[in-house]
Chains A and B, each alone.
Chain A
Amino acid sequence: KAGVTQTPRYLIKTRGQQVTLSCSPISGHRSVSWYQQTPGQGLQFLFEYFSETQRNKGNFPGRFSGRQFSNSRSEMNVSTLELGDSALYLCASSWGTPGNTIYFGEGSWLTVV
Chain B
Amino acid sequence: GESVGLHLPTLSVQEGDNSIINCAYSNSASDYFIWYKQESGKGPQFIIDIRSNMDKRQGQRVTVLLNKTVKHLSLQIAATQPGDSAVYFCAETLGQTSYDKVIFGPGTSLSVIP
Partners in one complex: yes
Given contacts A42-B3, A59-B1, A99-B93, contact A50 B43 (CB under 8 A): no
Contact B3 A98 (CB under 8 A): no
Question: What 1/0 mask marks residues of chain B from 4 to 23 whose CB sits below 8 Å from any chain A CB?
Answer: 11100000000000000000
The answer, yes or no, to whether A94 is at the interface (CB within 8 Å) is yes
Q: Give 14 A-B contacts (CB < 8 Å), ordered by A residue.
A: A33-B101, A35-B104, A42-B5, A42-B105, A43-B104, A55-B99, A56-B101, A96-B99, A97-B99, A98-B93, A99-B51, A99-B93, A104-B45, A105-B43
Does A58 count as interface, using CB distance less than 8 angstroms? yes
Cα-based distance from A97 to B95 in the complex (angstroms): 9
3 shortest interchain CB distances as A-B pairs: A44-B1, A104-B43, A42-B3
Number of A-B contacts (CB under 8 A): 88
- Asked if A33 and B95 sit within 8 Å, CB to CB, the answer is no
- Known contacts A98-B96, A99-B95, A44 near B49 by CB under 8 Å: no
Size category of the binding interface on chain A: 20 to 34
At the interface, yes or no: A75 with Cβ under 8 Å from chain B? no
Chain B: residues with Cβ within 8 Å of the partner, total of 31
Which one of A4, A35, A42, A56 contacts B99 once the chains associate, using CB atoms below 8 Å?
A56
B77 adjacent to chain A (CB < 8 Å) = no
Question: Which residues of B are found within 8 Å of A60, using beta-carbon distances?
Answer: 1
Interface of B with A (CB < 8 Å)?
1-6, 31-32, 34, 36, 42-46, 49, 51, 89, 93, 95-96, 98-107
A43, A44, A58, A101, most chain B CB atoms within 10 A: A43
Asked if A56 contacts B98 (CB within 8 A), the reply is: yes
Known contacts A41-B6, A48-B99; can you find 15 more A-B pairs with CB under 8 A?
Answer: A4-B43, A42-B3, A43-B89, A43-B107, A45-B1, A45-B101, A55-B99, A59-B1, A98-B32, A98-B93, A98-B99, A99-B51, A101-B34, A102-B34, A107-B43
Q: Which residues of A contact B34 (CB under 8 A)?
A: 101-102
- Please, how many angstroms separate the alpha-carbon atoms of A42 and B106 in the complex? 6
